[in-house]
Chains A and B, each alone.
Chain A
Amino acid sequence: GQSLEQPSEVTAVEGAIVQINCTYQTSGFYGLSWYQQHDGGAPTFLSYNALDGLEETGRFSSFLSRSDSYGYLLLQELQMKDSASYFCAVGSQGGKLIFGQGTELSVKP
């Protein structure tokens, strides 16, 4: 089976840096990805890591350590619009994508 754990909520102030962690258990690993979902909206793809290391996309970076079954999403220069839920997801054979329970990020002024 597959399971993912991430914090349920995180609060930070505008301009700060926040890290959202994700640990996973999976049989067959095909990468760790991150999705953003604003309230009631469609989740949208943010980043993907198949190999160990850091991937940077603008203000967002994502890290993966396969040996530790661990990854994180790093958001820099936080803006109010970054307030949303963030989901980590692991891929498995055949393209099945399993999501964590999500982390609600609140950015305060």
Chain B
Amino acid sequence: DSGVTQTPKHLITATGQRVTLRCSPRSGDLSVYWYQQSLDQGLQFLIQYYNGEERAKGNILERFSAQQFPDLHSELNLSSLELGDSALYFCASSVEGGQRNTIYFGEGSWLTVV
């Protein structure tokens, strides 16, 4: 158990809908990262927050947005969902900027768009 909690674990929704994925980082971690992993694909970096502020952006679609709240939990909002958005979405956290490139992943949220 990494200490990073993600909810929901599984989600099935229809095209065009909107979902919110939630992440609670490890206690004491200020950075939160979101990654997308499609079937047999690598980990695509979406976005990173540090202490409530957006720090880095990756290949995140305009239909997707995220935020980190004062209590450091984070939410990833996915809207106008398409079939291709079906993937495993990981949240990860680290103390500060990922010392020694060490980030801790949650178990992921499986999203299926039908």
Instruction: Scan A80-94; emit 1 where CB is below 8 A from any B CB, else 0.
Output: 000000010111101
A45 lies within 8 A of B107 (CB): no
Also in contact, A95 and B48, with CB within 8 A (given A43-B43, A43-B90, A101-B42)? yes
Cβ–Cβ < 8 Å partners of A31 in chain B = 100-101
A26-47 contacts to B, CB under 8 A, are: 30-33, 40-45
In contact, B42 and A100 (Cβ under 8 angstroms): yes
B64 interface residue, CB < 8 Å from A? Answer: no
For A89, list chain B residues within 8 Å (CB). 101
How far apart are the CA atoms of A59 and B50 in the complex, in Å? 34
Residues of B within 8 A of A101 (CB): 41-42
Identify which of B90, B97, B101, B107 contacts A48 (C-beta below 8 A): B101
Taken together as a complex, chains A and B put the C-alpha atoms of A98 and B46 apart, in Å, by 10
- Chain B contributes a number of interface residues (CB within 8 A of A) equal to 28
A94 touching B43 in the complex, CB below 8 Å, given contacts A31-B101, A33-B101, A42-B106: no
Does B97 contact A102, Cβ atoms closer than 8 Å?
no
A-B pairs with beta carbons under 8 A, tally: 71
Q: How far is the CA of A43 from the CA of B91 in the complex (A)?
A: 11
Taking the closest CB of chain B, its distance from the CB of A29, in whole angstroms, is 11
A95 and B107 within 8 A (CB): no
**Distance from B6 Cβ to chain A, minimum over Cβ atoms (Å):** 9
Cβ contact within 8 Å between A91 and B88: no
Which residues of B are found within 8 Å of A48, using beta-carbon distances? 100-102
Nearest 10 Cβ contacts at the A-B interface:
A95-B97, A33-B101, A101-B42, A96-B56, A95-B98, A99-B43, A42-B105, A91-B101, A48-B100, A31-B101
Could you name 22 residue pairs across A and B whose Cβ atoms are closer than 8 Å?
A32-B101, A33-B100, A42-B2, A42-B90, A42-B108, A43-B43, A43-B105, A45-B103, A48-B102, A91-B101, A95-B55, A95-B56, A95-B96, A96-B45, A96-B58, A97-B33, A97-B98, A98-B45, A98-B58, A99-B35, A100-B42, A102-B43
A interface vs B, CB < 8 Å?
Answer: 30-33, 40-45, 48, 50, 87, 89-92, 94-102
